[in-house]
C-alpha cells in the first residue's frame, strides 16, 4: 500500500519514495536544553514519533537521528544576543554542562512518559565540534563564507535557491536597525561560527582555524545529518517555527557542503495554542509541562491522546478542561478494551475480517499520517457489532503500535496528585496514633478531591471515584 505525505518543500502531498527501500533515514530537530520543554514543544516530538511508527508499521526499517542543542543557540535568530545555555547557567547558578545534563535528562523523562520511542542516535552539539568546524571549512573552501568582527558567516547570495522552503521574499526582508548587522553582506546571511567576546571567558568555547569561539545554531544539524545519515536523507521533521530561519539555513548549508539537495521530504507540525488562540511558548512565561499532568491527577498519555485527535499540520487547542476531557476519554477507551480483552481471554485473533479492517486503518494513516481519523477508526472498531472480541483485540493491538496509548494493558495506573498523596500519608499517621476523627476528616477531604482511599494490609490504596 502506498504512503503519501505533505512535503513543505513542494507544498504538495507526494507519494513517499525512500532512497533505499530497505531503510528510511529520518532526522528530527531536538530540544535546546536550557530549560524545560513545554507542551507546545512536545507536540513536535509526538508527531515525529507517530511518523516514525507509521513508517515502521508500513514495513520500513527507520534509522532515526535527533540532535540536542547544548551550545550555540542565541537568544535572537539574528545571530546576536546571549547564548541561551550560558544565560540559563547564570539563572540557576550552575555550570553550563550541568544545566545541559539536567534538562536533557528531563526531556527524555518527559518523552518516556508520552511513550515516545528514543531515536536510534542522539547527537549533542558539544560532541560534534570538530565535525562542525570541518563543515564550516568545507563551505569556506567553496567560497561560500566571509568573516566579520564577530564570526564566520554564510553568504546566502551564493545560493540561488535560498529561501525556497519558506517561500521567502528575499528583497522584502528587513534586517533591522542593529549596528552589528552592518557587517553582513546580505539580510539573510547567518553565523556559522561565532567568536567569543573579547575579555570574556565563556564556559563553552573551542579553538578553531578562525579563533576561539563556538558554532552557530544551524551548522550543528547539518553536521549531525551528514555524519550519521549521509548525503541522501528521506525525511526531516520539526515544528513550523523552524521553516523561515533554521531549516532554510540548514538546506543552504547542506547544498553548499554536498553540492546537491540532501533531504527529500520536509515535514512540519503546527502549534499548540491556548483557548484564546495564542501560541504556547517559553517567551510569554507559560509553564505548561508534561510533569505537571501527573501532579494534577492526569495520565500524561492523555496529552498524547489529545494531540492525536488533531492532524499534525493543524493547530491543537489546549486547556486544562480539554486535557481533563481527553483523560476521561482515554480511561473509558482503555476500560472498554480491558473488557474486550477479558472476553477474548487475552488472545487476539487475525482473520480475514481483521485484514480488511486494518487495511482501512492503513489507508487512513498512510494518507499524511491522519491520526484524527485513525482515532475515530479505533472507536468504531471497539463498538463494532460485526467483529468478535478476539478480532477487536487483534486490531487494537496493531493500532497501538502506532498510537502508543498503552491500549489493552491490564494495569491501569492511577495518577495521584501530590496533595492527595500527602493527605493519605497524614491519614495513615492519624490512624497509627488512633486519632480516628482526624482520619475520617482526611478521608472526606480526599473524596472531595475526586479520590477514595481503601485500607489494605500494607497501608492503603488510592483510587479514583
Is the same domain home to 209 and 169? Answer: yes
Asked if residue 196 is part of any domain, the answer here is: yes
Asked if residue 275 is part of any domain, the answer here is: no
Rg of the chain (C-alpha set): 25
Q: Which residues have CB under 8 Å from 45's CB, separation 6+?
A: 28, 111, 114, 116
Q: What is the pLDDT of residue 157?
A: 96
Q: What is the pLDDT of residue 174?
A: 44
Average pLDDT over residues 65-70: 96
Is the same domain home to 63 and 180? Answer: yes
Contact (CB, 8 A) for 458 and 424: no
Q: What is the pLDDT of residue 360?
A: 98
pLDDT confidence tier of residue 176, bands split at 50, 70 and 90: very low
Evaluate if residue 70 carries a pLDDT over 60: yes
pLDDT tens digits, residue range 235-258?
999 999 999 999 999 999 999 999
Is the same domain home to 385 and 422? Answer: no
Q: What nine digits make up the cell of 254?
A: 547542506
Query: How far, in Å, CA of 372 to CA of 384, rounded?
Result: 19
Query: How far, in Å, CA of 334 to CA of 336, rounded?
Result: 5
Average pLDDT over residues 3-27: 97
Q: What nine digits make up the cell of 405?
A: 496509548
Q: Which residues are registered as beta bridge partners of 462? A: 453
Asked if residue 4 is part of any domain, the answer here is: no
Domain end marker among 380, 403, 426: 403
The SS3 call for residue 251 is: helix
Asked if residue 189 is part of any domain, the answer here is: yes
Average pLDDT, the chain: 91
Evaluate if residue 143 carries a pLDDT over 70: yes
Average pLDDT over residues 358-372: 98
Asked if residue 280 is part of any domain, the answer here is: no
Q: Give the β-pairing of 23-28 and 61-68.
A: parallel
Q: What is the pLDDT of residue 223?
A: 98
Q: What is the pLDDT of residue 80?
A: 65
Q: What is the pLDDT of residue 38?
A: 92
pLDDT tens digits, residue range 380-439?
999 999 999 999 999 999 999 999 999 976 544 566 787 888 899 999 998 888 898 999
Query: How far, in Å, CA of 45 to CA of 213, rounded?
Result: 31
Exposure string of 167-195, with b = 16+ CB inside 10 Å and e = fewer, is ebeeeeeeeeeeeeeeebebbbbbbbbbb
Per mean pLDDT, which range of 143-147, 384-388, 460-464 is the poorest?
460-464
pLDDT tens digits, residue range 438-455?
999 999 898 888 888 887
Is the same domain home to 203 and 104? Answer: yes
Domain with 374, as residue range(s), is 290-403
Alpha helices per DSSP H over 58-193: 84-92, 96-113, 129-141
Q: What nine digits make up the cell of 237?
A: 521533521
Query: How far, in Å, CA of 252 to CA of 258, rounded?
Result: 10
Q: Which residues are registered as beta bridge partners of 236? A: 27, 266
What share of the chain in percent tops pLDDT 90?
72
Contact (CB, 8 A) for 249 and 63: no
Evaluate if residue 64 carries a pLDDT over 90: yes
Task: Count structural domains, the chain.
Answer: 3
Q: What is the dihedral of CA 137, 254, 23, 45, to 10 degrees?
A: 110
Is the same domain home to 460 and 398? Answer: no
Q: Which residues are registered as beta bridge partners of 62? A: 24
Residue 128's alpha-carbon distances to 67, 194, 222, in angstroms, are 10, 16, 11
Q: What nine digits make up the cell of 392?
A: 477487536
Asked if residue 279 is part of any domain, the answer here is: no
Q: What nine digits make up the cell of 394?
A: 487483534
Average pLDDT over residues 71-87: 71
Evaluate if residue 287 carries a pLDDT over 80: no
Residue with cell 530497505: 22
Per mean pLDDT, which range of 25-29, 124-128, 146-150, 196-200 is the poorest?
196-200
Q: What is the pLDDT of residue 416?
A: 79
Average pLDDT over residues 225-233: 98
Asked if residue 282 is part of any domain, the answer here is: no
Amino acid at each position: 500500500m502506498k504512503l503519501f505525505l505533505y512535503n513543505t518543500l513542494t507544498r504538495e502531498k507526494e507519494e513517499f519514495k525512500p532512497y533505499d527501500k530497505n531503510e528510511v533515514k529520518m532526522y528530527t530537530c531536538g530540544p535546546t536544553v536550557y530549560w524545560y520543554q513545554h507542551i507546545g514543544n512536545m507536540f513536535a516530538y509526538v508527531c515525529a514519533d507517530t511518523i516514525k511508527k507509521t513508517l515502521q508499521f508500513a514495513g520500513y526499517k527507520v534509522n532515526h537521528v535527533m540532535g540536542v542543542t547544548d551550545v550555540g543557540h542565541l537568544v535572537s535568530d539574528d545571530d546576536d544576543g546571549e547564548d541561551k545555555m550560558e544565560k540559563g547557567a547564570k539563572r540557576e547558578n550552575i555550570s553550563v554542562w550541568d544545566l545541559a545534563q539536567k534538562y536533557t535528562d528531563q526531556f527524555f523523562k518527559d518523552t518516556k512518559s508520552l511513550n515516545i520511542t528514543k531515536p536510534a542516535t542522539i547527537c549533542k552539539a558539544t560532541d560534534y565540534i570538530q565535525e562542525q568546524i570541518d563543515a564550516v571549512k568545507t563551505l569556506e573552501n567553496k567560497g561560500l563564507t566571509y568573516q566579520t568582527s564577530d564570526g564566520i558567516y554564510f553568504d546566502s547570495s551564493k545560493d540561488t535557491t535560498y529561501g525556497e522552503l519558506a517561500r521567502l521574499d528575499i528583497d522584502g526582508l528587513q534586517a533591522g536597525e542593529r549596528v552589528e548587522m552592518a557587517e553582513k553582506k546580505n539580510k539573510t546571511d547567518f553565523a556559522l561560527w561565532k567568536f567569543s567576546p573579547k575579555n570574556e571567558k565563556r564556559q563553552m568555547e573551542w579553538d578553531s582555524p578562525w579563533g576561539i569561539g563556538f558554532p552557530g545554531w544551524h551548522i550543528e544539524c547539518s553536521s549531525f545529518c551528514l555524519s550519521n545519515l549521509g548525503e541522501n536523507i528521506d525525511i526531516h521533521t520539526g515544528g513550523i517555527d523552524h521553516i523561515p530561519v533554521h531549516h532554510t539555513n540548514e538546506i543552504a548549508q547542506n547544498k553548499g557542503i554536498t553540492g546537491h539537495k540532501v533531504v527529500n521530504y520536509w515535514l512540519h507540525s503546527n502549534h499548540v495554542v491556548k483557548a484564546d488562540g495564542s501560541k504556547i511558548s517559553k517567551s510569554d512565561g507559560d509553564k505548561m509541562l508534561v510533569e505537571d499532568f501527573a501532579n494534577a491527577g492526569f495520565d500524561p498519555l492523555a496529552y498524547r491522546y489529545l494531540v492525536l485527535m488533531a492532524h499534525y499540520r493543524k493547530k491543537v487547542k489546549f486547556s486544562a478542561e480539554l486535557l481533563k476531557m481527553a483523560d476521561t476519554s482515554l480511561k473509558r477507551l482503555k476500560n472498554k478494551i480491558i473488557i474486550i480483552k477479558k472476553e477474548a481471554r487475552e488472545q487476539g485473533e487475525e482473520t480475514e475480517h481483521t485484514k480488511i479492517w486494518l487495511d482501512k486503518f492503513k489507508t487512513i494513516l498512510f494518507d499524511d499520517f491522519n491520526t484524527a481519523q485513525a482515532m475515530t477508526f479505533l472507536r468504531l472498531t471497539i463498538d463494532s457489532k460485526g467483529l468478535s472480541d478476539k478480532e477487536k483485540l487483534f486490531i487494537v493491538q496493531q493500532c497501538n503500535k502506532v498510537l502508543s496509548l498503552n491500549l489493552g494493558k491490564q494495569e491501569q495506573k492511577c495518577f495521584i496528585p501530590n496533595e492527595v498523596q500527602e493527605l493519605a500519608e497524614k491519614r495513615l499517621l492519624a490512624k497509627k496514633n488512633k486519632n480516628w476523627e482526624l482520619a475520617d476528616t482526611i478521608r472526606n477531604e480526599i473524596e472531595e478531591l475526586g479520590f477514595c482511599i481503601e485500607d489494605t494490609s500494607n497501608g492503603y490504596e488510592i483510587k479514583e471515584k
